[in-house]
Amino acid sequence: MAGDVILEAKGLTKEFRGFVAVKDVDLQVRRGTIHALIGPNGAGKTTCFNLLTKFLTPTRGRITFNGHDITHAKPADIARMGLVRSFQISAVFPHLTVLENVRIALQRKRGASFDFWRSERVLDSFNERAIELIDAVGLSDYVHAVAVELPYGRKRALEIATTLALDPEMMLLDEPMAGMGHEDIDRIAALIKKVSVNRTVLMVEHNLSVVANLSDTITVLTRGQVLAEGDYASISKNPEVQQAYMGSGDA
């Protein structure tokens, strides 16, 4: 698993009015790996994601992506550079159809879609690719369903299809399997494995068996700080990690 570092954070810190949610986090994600970020509730995982994708501005610290300093970039620019995230709470466009959801992402490739005088039929050229993506996440039967009517697990699948539509170099997935049944979990896990080829994935996940199966590297976060880092075998033996998880009653 020798790859260069694609995403790096140094001394990343975020304070909310005196409360330190993320403290001095150093993180290196190697290209082509699946990297998991785990930790008890409130550890600061989502905040880390928000910092890395610029939805929050860090109080201190530096972030580089592919060697570019992105500490002060805007979230839309990050996405354009190939770093695309999902959200902890499922993020679809609820009143658009599955096809339209995916097309919104595909449409981005046209550049800025400011052409309000043109018919939306020009977007039909994306249908074929959209349907390929929809098939890939197992939503073939729902192409014209309205997103809000999908069951929860399917919504998450749609979200992944939408993210994949941008063909991002790196994906950040915030608890992609939260609230899913076993069947869905297995399908999404297989999907993540499949799409991680030629891609880097950083994911937050509470389901430790998923993490064990999927990830190359695991970083454990507690109270905003990195507690341990390594592969699953070494992490699971780490007494501090065991205690952190026991202590919070999690896992």
Ligand X SMILES: Nc1ncnc2c1ncn2[C@@H]1O[C@H](COP(=O)(O)OP(=O)(O)OP(=O)(O)O)[C@@H](O)[C@H]1O
Residue written as tokens 């990050």?
A: 78
Binding segment for other proteins (CB under 8 A), chosen from 33-41, 113-121, 205-213, 224-232, is: 113-121
Q: Smallest distance from the beta carbon of 116 to other proteins, in angstroms? A: 4
List 47, 101, 196, 215, residue binding ligand X (CB under 6 A): 47
For residues 18-37, which are near ligand X according to CB under 6 A? 19, 21
Which residue in 28, 88, 97, 248 binds ligand X (CB under 6 A)? 88
Residue with Cβ nearer ligand X (43 or 79): 43
Contact 174, 146 (CB under 8 A): no
Among 33, 46, 90, 219, binds Mg ion (CB under 5 A): 46
Contact 186, 13 (CB under 8 A): no
By CB under 8 A, name the one of 11, 42, 68, 95 that touches other proteins.
Answer: 95
Contact range with other proteins by CB under 8 A, out of 58-66, 105-113, 200-208, 226-234: 105-113
Q: What's at 37, amino acid-wise? A: L
User: Residue 220: left (phi > 0), alpha (psi -120 to 50), or beta?
Assistant: beta
The correct pick among 4, 26, 115, 231 for binding other proteins (CB under 8 A) is: 115
Do β-strands 60-65 and 34-38 pair in parallel, antiparallel, or remain unpaired?
unpaired
Of ligand X, Mg ion, other proteins, none, which one does residue 43 interact with (CB within 5 to 8 Å by kind)?
ligand X
| CB 157, CB 138: distance < 8 Å | yes
Q: Which of 17, 18, 41, 76 binds other proteins (CB under 8 A)?
A: 76
Helix axes 152-165, 182-195, angle to 10 degrees: 10
- Give contact residues for ligand X (rule: CB under 6 A): 16, 19, 21, 39, 41-47, 88
- Give contact residues for other proteins (rule: CB under 8 A): 53, 55, 74-77, 79-80, 84-87, 91-96, 100, 103-105, 107-108, 110, 112-120, 122-123, 127-128, 131-132, 135, 140, 143-144, 162, 166
